[in-house]
Chains A and B, each alone.
Chain A
Amino acid sequence: MMNIWDKLLNLDRRFIYLAVFLAAIIPFLFPVGLEINPTQEVISIYNFIEELPEGTAILLAADYDPQTEAENGPQARALLRHMFKRNLKVIIMTLSQDGAALAEMLTKSIAEEYEKEYGVDYTYLGYKPYPSIIILSIGQDFRISYPADFYDTKLNDIPMMREIKNYNDLAAIIQIGGGNVSNMWLTYAQERYKVKLALAVTAVSGPQYYAFLQSKQIFGLIGGLKGAAEYETLLESEYDRLHLHKKAIQGMNVQNFVHILIIALTIIGNIAFFMKRHPKHMKTKG
């Protein structure tokens, strides 16, 4: 006959799935609203944008796709809102093949919130394949890979792009994504052209970029939904002023519960594992 430890070790995975489902749904209905403290790596990006003079050009590389929209989307929205709030000239592009429409929707919706004019306050370049080639070519001239923007307007006909040739004309690049493309921005843009770079990556990719943060190859790092929630906290007054939904902060409620659930499952699984191996238990069984 199976004892409690056997039952626990052979627990049907559907119960675990149900627990995860409930841990994700309940906090949406009953948010806990715990305090979020921004970390230094997120604050440094916020301070950098805050201190830039109005009208400075900055590049936002929205290299994420629908898979990671839940994490990268709130990061992108918070960053773009901050850039528009500071009246920077923003160039938006994507090196993710599924990201072109996402980046366009993002750009249009945030630009409408701030009543920004296309071609004067921001430009959307769209998607081009082969990231490493595009990143290298922008170091020479945007026009090599992007002779025209997403809407087929020649870059020279776009007012804000007339004075922007390459990385030398940008205050920084903030790349949103994670994985291979982030590495390419590090290798081919930051290392080769010495352009200032910050990354906003998924939580799973975050740990691999701490080394670049310490070596100052990146000046800031926004990791996962937590990083987005920290940025939303820094921009809280702006979100409140525009009555915007703080999606990442709300998402952190869910992460709280799911993390606690996974920790609890790991501990229960280990207790059952050790109790099963315990000599007393083995003797009883034998």
Chain B
Amino acid sequence: MKRRIPILIVSITGFLLTVQYFCPHPYSEAFYNNALDWLVIIGIFAMPLGIYSMVRIQFQKVARQESGWGFAVISLISLFVMLGLGYTPKCLEAGSFFMKLFEFIYIPIQATMFSLLAFYIASAAYRAFRARNLLASIVLVSAILVMLGRVPIGMAIHPIFPEIADWIMNFPNMAAQRAINIGLGLGAASTAIKIVLGVERSYMGFE
């Protein structure tokens, strides 16, 4: 019974929402709106759960003085400071302490993390991007042509480079992306059918 009731709820909801998609009746729309409300309500429960989980793990790290426990302290302080400041009046106004922390600490930290990718990509391109066989050579040559064709200097060297880059993007790239998307779509559809039919049960925590 513990397993059957959740499976039954999922199957009935999945079936009704599938039928609803093809049925533009006011009752069907009302059911759909109701389902959206439920989705929001259920989704909101994930947030305190996530915060609780994060706080618990970081507290454990500090209590056991595991390696890197100092970072856990910083995480907890950052969490509670931002959370606390987020409840102060006018916190979202320009020049507030909350906005200053966001603008002058959070934004630069995030931007720095992403910017570091340029350094790693350059290093990886030098060390690992090798024409070891035919397929790797095709990827290598394509990458060089696209990199050259996607910046103005490529055009300045020769107008053929942007044209080659566009051709690579519009034909081989698009064909590969489309194959991936169709595969993903079929995979998602088959998983959804398996869940509605009760074959796939791993979402409940057991096979």
Contact = CB atoms under 8 A, between A and B. Distances in A.
B35 to A, nearest CB: 9
A55 interface: no
Interface in B138-178: 140, 143-144, 147-148, 150-153, 155-156, 162, 166, 169-170, 173-174, 177-178
Contacts of B140: 266, 270
B36 A102 contact: no
Given A101-B99, A263-B144, A140 B151 contact: no
A37 B155 contact: yes
Given A34-B156, A265-B122, A269-B125, A144 B33 contact: yes
Contacts of B94: 105, 108
Contacts of A4: none
B189 to A, nearest CB: 12
A265 to B, nearest CB: 4
A98 B106 contact: yes
Interface in A252-286: 252, 255-256, 258-263, 265-270, 273-274
Contacts, number: 147
Nearest to B153: A256
B32 interface: yes
Interface stretch (A60-68, A85-93, A168-176, A235-243): A60-68
A269 B156 contact: no
A56 to B, nearest CB: 26
B51 interface: no
A96 B147 CA distance: 29
A69 B109 CA distance: 12
Interface of A: 11, 13, 16-17, 19-21, 24, 32, 34-37, 39, 65-70, 98, 101-102, 104-105, 108, 129-130, 133, 136-137, 140, 144-145, 150, 203, 207-208, 210-211, 214, 226, 252, 255-256, 258-263, 265-270, 273-274
